Structure 1
Amino acid sequence: MSDWNLPWEGGCRCGQVRLKISAPPLLTMACHCTGCQRMTASAFSLSAAIPSEGFSVTKGEPVIGGLHGAARHYFCPYCMSWMFTRPEGMDWFVNLRATMLDDPSWFTPFVETWTSEKLPWAATPAVHSFAKLPEFHEYKELTDAYAARAAKPPPSRRA
């Protein structure tokens, strides 16, 4: 685990909410769904699935935004940066918006989802693509493959 150069820190755009990551990601993703497109004002959202025990808010109190549904999207209450998501019923991980890290330069999406809704020109270097979401039974193979092949932050770029 030491080759991940943990812990990492991150925060919202204004700095009122800060995060600490002390466990490597289970998977990195780009989501092309129209919901993510609208919430990011971009072609897709980028996220890293962080084990819940390796994720903490160290400053501030994020608020729930977005659609307030089963996927609880957390934002900075001041600058409204979309910071992370906690999917209902999947409490073992937090989907961190990768660009909230102080140094996201190492990040590469391993999986892309909802390609059925992607903008025609949008492309990522993801190794695996899914028209919607992977089947639940596919995640074990995906996380194992990611663990074996993941891009890791170099020591000189540690936040």
Structure 2
Amino acid sequence: MSIQIAGGCFCGSIRYAFEDGAYATANCHCTMCRRTSAAPFVPWIVVPKEHFRYTDGIPKVLNSSQHGTRYFCADCGTPLACENDSHADVIDITICSLDAPEVIIPEHEVYLDTRLPWSTATE
């Protein structure tokens, strides 16, 4: 049996889990991530869809672009996940919605060209 990583929204209405593995991680500085999270960047972990499942609740859907869909809690507003047509076999999960976000360290910085000038990149 594989180890499960779990997470969910602030109010507990939505829970999810995925199989532990060696997944890509990044801090995204794109304008869409910044606007939908009201934060200077969003840390993501990229998980194959077949390893991910919602275990409680159903997230609200936001079609944030022609090719992107974001998922969040309709009750508390926590951003949870994002899917994009350009990588349809994976789902991006917000690291800070994990039960133990401190164990996942983002390895990359993406969209640095739109990074806020006062935000410090980790690379």
SS of equivalent residue, structure 2 residue 36: helix
Aligned to 1:104: 101
Note the 1:54-73 alignment, pairs <5 A. 54-65=51-62, 67=64, 69-73=66-70
Tell me the secondary structure at the aligned position of residue 53 of structure 2.
strand
Superposition map of 1:1-159 within 5 A: 6-65=3-62, 67=64, 69-126=66-123
* In 2: Cα distance, 1:71 partner to 1:64 partner: 10
Match of 1:53, SS state, is: helix
Asked whether the equivalents of residues 23 and 55 of structure 1 are also in contact (C-alpha less than 8 Å), the reply is no
Higher strand proportion (structure 1 or 2): 2
Offset at residue 97 of structure 1 (A): 0.4
- How far does the alpha carbon of each residue in 1:19-66 deviate from its partner, in whole angstroms, 9 at most, with x for none? 001142520001111111111111101100011111110000112126
Q: Percent identity of the aligned residues?
A: 28
Higher helix share: 1
Structure number with greater Rg is 1
- The higher-RCO structure (CA 8 Å, 6+ apart) is 2
TM-align CA RMSD: 1.7
Equivalenced residues, count? 122
Task: Report the residue type matching 1:75 in the other structure.
Answer: F
Contact 1:33 1:117 in 2 (8 A): yes
**TM-score relative to the length of structure 2:** 0.90
CA distance in 2, matches of 1:89, 1:36: 16
- Residue type of the alignment partner of 1:112: E
TM-score (norm 1): 0.71
How many Å separate the matches in 1 of 2:17 and 2:49?
A: 11
Q: Name stretches of at least 5 consecutive residues in structure 2 with no aligned partner.
A: none
Question: Where does structure 1 differ by over 4 angstroms across 4 or more consecutive aligned residues?
Answer: none
Shift of 1:89: 4.7
Q: Secondary structure at the match of 2:13?
A: coil
Q: Secondary structure at the match of 1:38?
A: helix
Amino acid aligned to 2:34: Q
